[in-house]
Structure 1
Amino acid sequence: MRCFFSFSITCLLFLAPLPVLSMQFEASIDKNKMTLDEDVTVTIQVSGEDVQDNVPFPAIQESPDFKFVNKNNYQNSSQNITVINGRFKKSIVRTVTFQFVFKPVRIGECQLPSFAFNYNNTQKNFAGSKIQVLKESPESADIDFFFTFSKNKLFVNEQMVLTAVLRKKAGSAVNQIKRPEIEKNLSRYFWMKPVTDKVEGKIESVNGQNYEVYRISFIAFPVLAGTIKIPSVPLEYTVVERRRQQNRDPFFNDAFFNSFFDNATTKTKTKYSSPVTLEVKDLPSLRKPADFQGAVGVFSIAAMVDKTNIKAGEALNLKVTVSGRGNEKSFNAVHIKNIDRFEVFDPEITATADVKGGEVRITKIFKYVLIPQVEGAYSIGPITLYYFNPDRGVYDSAQTEIAISVKPGKVSRTSGERYLSKEEIKLVGKDIQYIKTSAGRLTDQSKRLYREPLFALLTVFPFLFTLVFALVQRQRERLETDIEYARMKKARKKAARLLAGAETQVAHSAGGEFFATINKSLSGYIADKLNLAAAGLTNDMIRETLLKRGVGNVAVDEVLGFFNECDLYRFGSMSASETERRAQYRKAEALITRLEKELK
């Protein structure tokens, strides 16, 4: 539930002979009453099929009652499906949200600035709403709400302690206080983890007055760089108001009867925290490692395998454990050198995060299945995690490696030989050919074999066989030596195997396992087809690479929308019915088929 009221801004469109595009507009403000120390946020949304990238900000018409604080925007898209005469029509609707923050400069009834929007020959004008600005709310002395930060200057993804402080004057008319939705209101600025789920109050004296004080602490990681203006966060509470009934009989004008006949009512009111400014520095580009993924903190790395002596072509299990102080969501892979000597399967990734001593301590485990292709004694690695150390202000790394010995096996790329197993050795003939004792069937030797049609066919057949064999052998050698080509050729079959497994989960899976499988089928297909590492694949990388390979915007949006839907079912609280799971299964099949055609 949102803790603040939204009120529609009066929107006036000046009529003119302009072309009409399929765009919709929405505008709102987060409050219509405020005090001088509060901010007001104006939100304008533009959506439609004609909305593309780089939509400009609406122009602000200055107002003498408010001063501009900051602005930001973000974009998302959704897919609409309509059925007309039995035919399905898909459309991508993009929504661009603009937010403007203002602070009042005087008390009284004030007018917010108006806005003018101009995009692709479409104009829209928004008239500013009127807002009542108060010097001080009546309950401001009875309740207080503000934030404290352990650091006011820090790097992107550097952890700090964010504390929300709620103070209620003891014995005041303030009755109940709802827990503020801090994570919801600040999720655009921080990735947050509560220090504890329990919130206990205690009595503290402030300026000689007793207050009930509650503190809610989080470990917070800023996700935006620059001068970040943390907006006001709403806090809902109830106030008890008593009304005395008027009695005509003076007999009842007694303190006892007055208190007995008083009517007590409760009203819900809102208190806003004061905005806070943080200086968040972006990570330096100087000496940034090429394989740096965004990890910030201090980490260590360890690795182990289930066997160090192995034959070529046999599988071994590699377990890489990263632990330390930081945000586990900031990296999704480790860098492994000499990995081209192995056939590598996508890792299984698990992570845990605990708050200890006011810090987030994480453990992230990557489990790989590797099949060595080259015989000899060599190392897996170095296995490296590159990270930025905010304490020292420099990039650092954690490394480890494991020595293994690979003996000749069924697969070997050093000598070019192919080792045969006992099952592959077959009896092809015998040394002794016996002399026949009977003449058997005799044929007319006067016939010329070269005149027979069969002779011509048999003459051409060896050449055709040799040509086909050479092509097949060349294809096989390329699949064994060219890993990029092999991944691309096997991508569809590998995705089909995963989808076949997902089909068996449609009716019986609880949902998470099924959506993880179809997600892996499509992401693995894209990674193999484009020769990318599946472990570190992000939506931005997928969009950029697919567009470069000539895949259309609509198809790319559908692929990313599919991943977002899977994540909602995997990590959110949503559950999917069997019908919805079957629909997602068919959608994954269709997307893979479509990409197979567009990536030819």
Structure 2
Amino acid sequence: MRFLTGIFLSIFLCGALSAQDVRVESSFEPSIMHAGETGIYRFTVSKQESGRNVMAFRGFDIDFSAIRGIPGLQVSYLGPSQNVSIINSQTMVSVSHQFRVRADEAGEFTLPAFPITLDGKSYTVPAATLKVLARSQAAVAAAGQSMQMELILPRDKIYVGESLPVQIRLYIRRDIQVSHLGSEVPVKIGDAFAVSDFSDPAQRQVERNGEIYQEVVWQAVVTPYKAGDYPLVFQEDVYAYAPEQNRGRSRDPFESIFNRIGMRDVQKVSLYTNQDEDLKVLDLPAEGRPADFSGAVGIFRTSQPTVDPTKAQVGEPMTLSFNIEGSGNFDRFSPPVAADSQGWRVYNPEETFAPTDRYRYQGRMTYNYVIIPRDESVTETPEVTFNYFNPDTEKYVELKLPPRPVTITPPPPGQRPNIPPPTTANQPATSTASRHPELLPIKTTVTAWGQSMRPLFLSPWFLGAQVVPLGVLVGLALTRRRHNRLLTDPRYAREVRARKLLKPRLAAARKAATSGDHAAFYAEAQRVIQCAVGRLVDQTSEALLADEIDALLTARSVDPAIRKQTQDFLHAGDALKFGGLKRADIDLPREMSRLETLATQLMKLS
């Protein structure tokens, strides 16, 4: 159930709580609305304690049957939000759970009190009442039309991992005087989507239903974490001056002066994007998916590759370069795959991304591959293939970058074994006169010709010398056996490749943690997990998505704690990038230790 999933994934409160320290509140926002409009029901659990040690609840149990069983009131769970503030060494921790509510008929709806259990102790969420007015009540309805907020989506469905541009539009009627907004940008409610940085707001005056409004538009990019139907709701608080005509005449002579200089009452109005239907999030289709799928979702094009230099000797490095341009999830896909070639050694590319917008949704990715020719027989560079999923056509697209012609020459003399030419019959014979005597003169005195009369073949160094060729033969046999096993046993080959890649991945993560580069650390952490889990299946590890990894771990009955930790690492990079996680809250050395332990546990799976 989405209700329970959101709760278990995101509740962060203090440990060691006592009943008298916990405060539970509930409310509707707004508490009065019109039939057919959408509001928010929220209950909040908060705790204040001394110190800065904030831990998670060890147990949290909620019965939602009371919330879902109100006739005439539609209720759907949006997700949690949490807040931690520290003032004068006092830590206030609170968690709120939001529900979208809507009633199509006028009336008064009361959500009764219901129990929750925190760390084995029972608490009660108090009752809350919502008053829904009929649309015929024009006075209230007119006030409700003074401010509105809308979410503009390019389409009503999105794929897991896809980056989708959206607009949030705020409309304020011209006669409404605004003091300020509650936040510089709208706040996302729920945990099913990651959101990029927002654009600077654009403002203009527009006409709607015969009225003139001030329109404020923010743009952003959203990326879903998982498949399913989820609401995408944003909130913005508007603080507006109370209308002067609604204020009674006061006997205070100073009040009129304060009104004239702008010191009127300020009212807070909470606005929500009115999305009646949940956004459908789809898994990428399995049909037609390339075995080496890069994970790219969007619309892309490639440039013609170039090679520098075009002429080289065997063993000299060359650089193969090309660009990928377009719009999509540039931060989430793997580099294109270079075709295996016996004549080349290809290294992982250097990547450089040049965004053309602030969301990193559009731009150009440049790849530079270092390639080294093995022999002079090669005449062209390796073929490179890039694939992606086009969400508009709902099909996979494969782009092949053609090879470039090159000229490879042999290496200079001395860099290969130099075998002397054999002796021929035409070679002149050595002069007899220059030859040394064939017999040595007879010795007339005894001299020490050696230390021992022991036969040569019994000497230790002689026996040791015979072991060397034997060791070489054994080593060659083992190497040959390992090579054959790599060719015939895919599972063993994946295991060897994973162990070979895991060490540099962990080293790169450790380097990022030491330098305090949060984004690089979580990117490497994701690759470590893909590498450790990808060896279990016949699929490119870099293309594994979070849901696929979780399914593999579930099928092997992996401890839920390990599965949760795995998902936390996979989603942390996006949460950090799109604002769900703050760098100040992250202890990178501790995260590195957790990653090493997790990698060891995942490598033990079979």
Query: Normalising to structure 1: TM-score of the pair?
Result: 0.63
Q: Is 2:73–2:109's contact at 8 Å kept on the other side of the alignment?
A: no
In the other structure, the counterpart of 1:216 is: 218
In the other structure, the counterpart of 1:93 is: none
1:267-416 paired onto structure 2 within 5 Å: 267-277=267-277, 280=280, 282=282, 284-302=285-303, 303-329=305-331, 331-338=333-340, 342-354=344-356, 361-373=362-374, 376-377=377-378, 380=381, 382-405=383-406, 407=408
1:245-272: per-residue Cα shift (whole Å, max 9, x none)?
A: 7549xxx7x9988978997322323233
**What is the CA RMSD across the aligned residues, in angstroms?**
6.0
Instruction: Tell me which of 54, 68, 74 is aligned to 2:74.
Output: 68
Counterpart CA distance in 1 for 2:602 and 2:224 is 39
In the other structure, the counterpart of 1:102 is: 101
2:299 partner amino acid = V
Q: Shift of residue 41 of structure 1?
A: 4.7
Q: Shift of residue 323 of structure 1?
A: 1.1
Counterpart CA distance in 2 for 1:211 and 1:48 is 46
- The reply on whether 1:188 has 2:195 as its aligned counterpart is no
Q: Shift of residue 370 of structure 1?
A: 3.2
1:337 partner amino acid = A
1:110-129 paired onto structure 2 within 5 Å: 110-112=109-111, 129=127
Counterpart CA distance in 2 for 1:518 and 1:275 is 36
In the other structure, the counterpart of 1:197 is: 200
Counterpart CA distance in 1 for 2:589 and 2:279 is 48
Q: Is 2:231–2:275's contact at 8 Å kept on the other side of the alignment?
A: yes
Counterpart CA distance in 2 for 1:269 and 1:393 is 41
SS in 2 for 1:402: coil
Counterpart CA distance in 1 for 2:81 and 2:176 is 45
1:516-535 paired onto structure 2 within 5 Å: 526=532
Counterpart CA distance in 1 for 2:80 and 2:437 is 87
Gaps of 5+ in 1: 1-23, 77-95, 411-418
1:104 partner amino acid = A
Counterpart CA distance in 2 for 1:97 and 1:409 is 70
In the other structure, the counterpart of 1:81 is: none
* Farther off after superposition, 380-389 or 540-549: 540-549
SS in 2 for 1:140: helix
- The reply on whether 1:441 has 2:448 as its aligned counterpart is yes
CA change 1:404–1:217 in 2 (3 A) is same
* Farther off after superposition, 303-312 or 319-328: 303-312
SS in 1 for 2:387: strand
Q: Shift of residue 215 of structure 1?
A: 3.1
1:441 partner amino acid = A
CA change 1:125–1:58 in 2 (3 A) is farther
Q: Shift of residue 38 of structure 1?
A: 1.6
Counterpart CA distance in 1 for 2:505 and 2:482 is 18
SS in 1 for 2:188: helix
2:366 partner amino acid = I
Q: Is 2:113–2:126's contact at 8 Å kept on the other side of the alignment?
A: yes
Q: Is 1:142–1:172's contact at 8 Å kept on the other side of the alignment?
A: no
Q: Shift of residue 176 of structure 1?
A: 3.4
Aligned residues: 525
Q: Is 2:344–2:382's contact at 8 Å kept on the other side of the alignment?
A: no
Counterpart CA distance in 1 for 2:96 and 2:469 is 65
1:169-216: per-residue Cα shift (whole Å, max 9, x none)?
A: 33345543445643634773475575x5242232x4445544333333
Q: Is 2:525–2:570's contact at 8 Å kept on the other side of the alignment?
A: yes
Q: Is 2:386–2:398's contact at 8 Å kept on the other side of the alignment?
A: yes
1:498-517 paired onto structure 2 within 5 Å: 502=511, 506=514, 509=515, 511=517, 515=521
SS in 2 for 1:264: coil
CA change 1:312–1:496 in 2 (3 A) is farther
Q: Shift of residue 111 of structure 1?
A: 1.9
Counterpart CA distance in 1 for 2:380 and 2:237 is 58
In the other structure, the counterpart of 1:140 is: 143
Counterpart CA distance in 2 for 1:221 and 1:492 is 28
1:383 partner amino acid = V
- The reply on whether 1:467 has 2:453 as its aligned counterpart is no
SS in 2 for 1:346: coil
Q: Is 2:173–2:213's contact at 8 Å kept on the other side of the alignment?
A: yes
Gaps of 5+ in 2: 1-21, 46-55, 83-94, 421-429, 488-492
Counterpart CA distance in 2 for 1:167 and 1:488 is 54
- The reply on whether 1:171 has 2:175 as its aligned counterpart is yes
* Farther off after superposition, 236-245 or 293-302: 236-245
In the other structure, the counterpart of 1:264 is: 264
Counterpart CA distance in 2 for 1:550 and 1:464 is 49
Q: Is 1:66–1:112's contact at 8 Å kept on the other side of the alignment?
A: no
Q: Shift of residue 279 of structure 1?
A: 6.2
Counterpart CA distance in 2 for 1:59 and 1:217 is 37
CA change 1:476–1:525 in 2 (3 A) is farther
Counterpart CA distance in 2 for 1:387 and 1:226 is 22
SS in 2 for 1:275: coil
Counterpart CA distance in 2 for 1:365 and 1:374 is 28
1:224-255: per-residue Cα shift (whole Å, max 9, x none)?
A: 6666544463433233366567549xxx7x99
CA change 1:260–1:364 in 2 (3 A) is closer
Q: Shift of residue 133 of structure 1?
A: 1.9
2:324 partner amino acid = V
* Farther off after superposition, 171-180 or 510-519: 510-519
SS in 2 for 1:333: coil
In the other structure, the counterpart of 2:242 is: 240
SS in 2 for 1:470: helix
CA change 1:513–1:466 in 2 (3 A) is farther
Counterpart CA distance in 1 for 2:338 and 2:520 is 30
In the other structure, the counterpart of 2:50 is: none
1:465 partner amino acid = V
SS in 2 for 1:377: coil
Counterpart CA distance in 2 for 1:340 and 1:548 is 38
SS in 2 for 1:384: strand
Q: Is 2:389–2:396's contact at 8 Å kept on the other side of the alignment?
A: yes
SS in 2 for 1:274: coil
1:88-121: per-residue Cα shift (whole Å, max 9, x none)?
A: xxxxxxxx99875432355554222777999xxx
1:475-513: per-residue Cα shift (whole Å, max 9, x none)?
A: 56678895948746755775687589x39x94xx46469
Structure in which a larger fraction of residues adopt strand: 1
In the other structure, the counterpart of 1:130 is: 128
Counterpart CA distance in 1 for 2:436 and 2:509 is 54
1:455 partner amino acid = L
Counterpart CA distance in 1 for 2:578 and 2:437 is 74
Counterpart CA distance in 2 for 1:544 and 1:456 is 64
Q: Is 2:307–2:404's contact at 8 Å kept on the other side of the alignment?
A: no
CA change 1:462–1:499 in 2 (3 A) is farther
Counterpart CA distance in 1 for 2:392 and 2:553 is 38
SS in 1 for 2:475: helix
1:131 partner amino acid = T
2:277 partner amino acid = T
1:99-156: per-residue Cα shift (whole Å, max 9, x none)?
A: 75432355554222777999xxx99897673223242858834622132536444553
In the other structure, the counterpart of 1:21 is: none
